[in-house]
């Protein structure tokens, strides 16, 4: 099982838990080190109860080409030595595509969890990673119906596609009560107060001063009536420093937060503004209004059933979406199979795919639940 960045960790934790103790599987965790400092990696491992990885590649940062190439270079001898039955990759980061390509060229099966999502925007590095990984995967575990539809349209055989639900929501449900007991709201002085949460890290949003200025202008206007808390990704903080940007009042910058502290703030927020895919999913389940600071999303169910709205990246479009949200807040609807059992369903699909006997009752439940 390969992980490298914060979004990966929330997805591997429930799958590792589901496979732990199952006599038909032995799991080995490889951490590529794509996210490498304690705030971005170590704290998440502790919060989610993920065991120390057996292999840590310590790749670190770099351009997309440099990082992808370094992951491939360092993971190849590990996989060549282990020769596992399959390599499980999750999500859409560089670690996902790099590990999948190396495994496939070594003749090792590739299992992609969170397969089939498409923004249809190939300017996004994540979209390229998704397309490449799905094209070579042997088994594709899907979070929402759009993923299954996209894969079928791309010619993937139906018997390799399995709608299992959302592993990230497994983590949310398993840890929500612990998150609610976090003291982060007290530390920040927002307990019982209305506030919003911001996350922003995509290159298209933070690399160009003009574009970032549009977003900050909207955040400043919103912060005049709703204080905004912004745990700043290290990459984004570097861009803010290099561009010498003055921040609007009411926008409070924080260091990156651990999983439990962030989930605590997110669950109690009045509004979340984000360019993250996973946070669109979390806010949908939490029933918190979300404005996605992008022109597209690969997670359409969060708009069709959830609390998410596409707000664009211009000051005017973001503020218009905020006004619309205040007038017509979304009702909480949880998408099908986002019930905290995606890890169990994934385990049963793996059992079936590799010819192992099903757990008592579980596979039957999977067949009844999945369309």
Residues annotated as part of the active site: 201
**How are beta strands 289-292 and 228-231 bridged, if at all?**
unpaired
Cα angle 162, 166, 170 (rounded to 5 degrees) comes to 130
State the distance between the two ends of the chain, measured CA to CA, in whole angstroms.
27
Contact 49, 16 (CB under 8 A): no
How many angstroms separate the CA atoms of 86 and 14, rounded? 18
DSSP string covering 141-180: EESSHHHHHHHHHTT--GGGEEE---HHHHHHHHHHHHHH
State both tokens at 339.
Answer: 């019930």
Which among 136, 167, 169 has a CA at the least distance from the CA of 334? 169
State both tokens at 177.
Answer: 């009560």
Instruction: Put the strands of the sheet holding 109-115 in their side by side order.
Output: 55-56, 30-31, 2-3, 86-90, 109-115, 139-142, 161-163
How many angstroms separate the CA atoms of 211 and 123, rounded? 16
How many angstroms separate the CA atoms of 206 and 238, rounded? 10
Which among 55, 57, 46 has a CA at the least distance from the CA of 27? 55
Torsion, Cα 44 50 54 58, to 10 degrees, reads -10
How many angstroms separate the CA atoms of 264 and 54, rounded? 30
State both tokens at 127.
Answer: 């979209």
Q: What is the DSSP letter of 57?
A: -
């Amino acid at each position: 099982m390969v992980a490298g960045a914060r979004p990966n960790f929330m997805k591997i934790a429930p799958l590792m838990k589901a496979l732990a103790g199952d006599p038909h599987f032995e799991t080995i965790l490889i951490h590529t080190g794509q996210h490498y400092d304690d705030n971005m990696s170590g704290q998440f491992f502790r919060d989610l109860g993920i065991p120390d990885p057996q292999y840590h590649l310590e790749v670190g940062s770099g351009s997309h080409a440099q990082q992808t190439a370094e992951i491939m270079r360092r993971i190849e001898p590990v996989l060549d030595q282990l020769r596992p039955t399959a390599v499980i990759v999750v999500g859409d980061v560089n670690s996902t595509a790099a590990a999948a390509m190396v495994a496939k060229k070594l003749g090792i099966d590739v299992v992609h969890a969170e397969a089939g999502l498409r923004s249809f925007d190939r300017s996004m590095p994540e979209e390229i990673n998704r397309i490449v990984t799905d094209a070579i995967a042997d088994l594709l575990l899907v979070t929402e119906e759009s993923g299954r539809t996209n894969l079928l349209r791309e010619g993937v055989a139906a018997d390799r596609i399995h709608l299992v639900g959302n592993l990230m929501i497994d983590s949310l449900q398993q840890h929500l009560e612990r998150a609610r007991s976090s003291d982060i709201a007290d530390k920040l002085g927002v307990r019982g107060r209305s506030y919003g949460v911001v996350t922003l890290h995509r290159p298209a949003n933070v690399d160009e001063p003009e574009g970032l200025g549009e977003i900050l202008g909207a955040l400043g206007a919103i912060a005049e009536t709703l204080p905004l808390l912004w745990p700043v990704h290290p990459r984004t903080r570097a861009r803010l420093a290099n561009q010498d940007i003055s921040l609007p009042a009411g926008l409070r910058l924080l260091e990156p937060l651990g999983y439990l502290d962030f989930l605590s703030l997110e669950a109690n927020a009045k509004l979340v503004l984000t360019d993250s895919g996973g946070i669109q999913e979390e806010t949908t389940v939490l029933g918190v209004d979300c404005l996605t600071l992008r022109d597209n999303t690969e997670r359409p169910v969060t708009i069709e059933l959830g609390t998410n709205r596409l707000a664009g990246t211009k000051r005017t479009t973001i503020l218009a979406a905020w006004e619309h949200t205040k007038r017509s807040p979304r009702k909480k609807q949880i998408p099908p199979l986002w019930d905290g059992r995606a890890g169990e369903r994934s385990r049963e699909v793996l059992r079936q795919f590799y010819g192992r006997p099903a757990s008592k009752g579980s596979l039957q439940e999977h067949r009844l639940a999945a369309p």
